[in-house]
Amino acid sequence: MDVLTTLARTFFDWDYIRAVLPDLLGTGLWNTLVLALSSAVLGTVLGMGLAVMGLSRSRWLRFPARVYIDVFRGLPAILTILLVGQGLAQVTRPLFGYNPYPLGILALGLIAAAYIGEIFRSGIQSVDRGQLEASRALGMSYAGGMRLVVIPQGVRRVLPALVNQFIALIKESSLVYFLGLLASQRELFRIGQDEAATTGNLSPLVATGICYLVITVPLTHLVNHIDRRLRSGRRVAAPNDPDGPDGPGDPDGRGGPDALAKLNLTVAKEPA
Amino acid sequence: MTSSATQGPPRDGATFTSVSVEVRDLRVSFGTSEVLRGVDLRVERGQTACVIGPSGSGKSTLLRCVNRLQEPDSGDVLLAGESVIATDPDALRQRVGMVFQHFNLFPHRTVLDNITLPLRKVRKLARDRAEETARTWLAEVGLADKAPYRPAQLSGGQQQRVAIARALAMDPEVMLFDEVTSALDPELVKGVLGLMAELGERGMTMLVVTHEMGFARQVSDTVAFMDRGRVVEAGPPEQVFEQPESPRLRTFLSQVL
């Protein structure tokens, strides 16, 4: 009984949790999301560039992409964050002042780009060669065929892996606290850790963990959802598609409008 | 040419504006294996030539040299006397339509978008003009009602007819067909071959690589038999099928007929 009470007080002390919640939700959550989202955008853009370079026929484009990816995937994230965040701080101080966020975002984005680049490359490579050939045969340039036909299909296939990478980024954004943050700049982890240190109790960190889970668990399930859809062959429809996910999907792929007409007919008749 | 792309197919019974094709001493090697060892072939304007022969004989490679999806090591192809080697590949491919064995429709786009995409991006048509042209061609191949669907929602035969419409919408002067019925269920083959025969009748110059001997016999003006990278025998279908001269063609025909 005593052990249980001790454990409960160590991890789930409601008073400590209630004390840290306003900071977590008011400051930490926002800062974490800013870090994760900004670096995700940066990583996706750079990653696409790396993927296209990696698939180029020119070795002078392939080689730098290869080296970049090897280096940033091979280094511990914390090392990259410290090198970029502290190393470049002197140079960028006139621009950003003492705000470590821009460099933190840059470091996280550079790391993410290496992983996302590999994800995109594998996705684009998995698209049937015939797609580019058909594009070329219709008079499109290599770049046009890649941009309009091949890359959109490749990206669609790796959406689950991409969301996984975004989840990793949300968690890794906690490492930015190594760069030193002002009170208003603290993200989720730093707030929880500060509070745990001052109170000598781990409950604030548990509350922090729950905040992370509130973001990451729905994303994980989103991954599973997308994955299941891609596997079952149902297309993830673009918003302007006339045959959206609830459109005339027929399992054997032979139905067409007739199948839809039959379906509508049955549904319409039911109430009568 | 560009202006006629906006007008859709030739009206009732009218003919296509097509050109002659002349293949001259075409040679292609992949590493140490010679795939084409000096191929010559002439297709007059508005005529249909079928290329038959065992697999690996270089039929597809020959076809791919015409629109330079494959660069020949030497030799040339002349369209109305103009060298394709001397023509910019992207410009060349606007004059040469190609249909593939596995359709190669764009699965992430609707049937309509499959046809409008190259019209808009290559021919630079405005969206409404492109859609108008695309719908005309879809109607022409009997699939007007399939415009909003994804390719995967169509049967193989319907997909192949969309692919043909997509190529024709670009207003080509020559059409290349690379074993376009080989991936189809037997009952779907007829519709595609019928459509191709109709194009031939309307004056499209066509180069057809096929295993459909019935089609080759009935529809083509010239049949070329290829084996090991060479045209072994070529001539009118009656001659090639009824009086084959070379032993290799006789053996081949006895196996496929």
At B154, the pLDDT band (50, 70, 90 cuts) reads: very high
Least confident of A136-150, A182-196, A257-271, B225-239: A257-271
Q: Is the pLDDT of residue A170 over 90?
A: yes
Residue of B49, B178, B176, B175 whose CA lies nearest to B101: B178
Res B65: pLDDT: 96
Strand partners, B178: B209
Contact at CB, A248 and B90, closer than 8 angstroms = no
Contact at CB, B170 and A148, closer than 8 angstroms = no
Q: Is the pLDDT of residue A238 over 70?
A: no
Contact at CB, A134 and B105, closer than 8 angstroms = yes
Q: Which of A130, A133, A139 sits opposite B118 (nearest CB)?
A: A139
Kindly state the greatest CA–CA separation across chain A.
78
Q: What percent of chain A has pLDDT over 90?
A: 65
At A229, the pLDDT band (50, 70, 90 cuts) reads: confident
At B1, the pLDDT band (50, 70, 90 cuts) reads: very low
- Which residues, 6+ apart, have CB-to-CB distance to B157 below 8 Å? B184, B185, B188, B189, B191, B192
Rounded Cα distance between B4 and B246, Å, is 44
Question: B167: which chain A residues are within 8 Å (Cβ-Cβ)?
Answer: 137-138
Question: A263: which chain B residues are within 8 Å (Cβ-Cβ)?
Answer: none
What three-state secondary structure class fits A49?
helix
Q: Is the pLDDT of residue B203 over 60?
A: yes
Contact at CB, B153 and A250, closer than 8 angstroms = yes
Q: Which residue of B has its CA nearest to A156?
A: B108
pLDDT tens, residue by residue, B160-187: 999 999 999 999 999 999 999 999 998 8
pLDDT tens, residue by residue, B4-38: 444 566 655 567 889 999 999 999 999 999 999 99
Least confident of A89-98, A151-160, A193-202, B81-90: A89-98
Res A84: pLDDT: 93
At B131, the pLDDT band (50, 70, 90 cuts) reads: very high
Write down the ipTM of this complex.
Answer: 0.91
Res A90: pLDDT: 85
Element (H, E) at A262: helix A256-269
**pTM value?**
0.82
Res B11: pLDDT: 55
pLDDT tens, residue by residue, B62-73: 999 999 999 999
Residue of B68, B84, B71 whose CA lies nearest to B20: B84
Report whether B202 contacts B234 (CB < 8 A): no
Res B8: pLDDT: 61
Question: Mean pLDDT of all residues in chain B?
Answer: 92
At A1, the pLDDT band (50, 70, 90 cuts) reads: low
Residue of A197, A180, A229 whose CA lies nearest to A81: A180
Res B4: pLDDT: 45
Rounded Cα distance between B131 and B169, Å, is 11
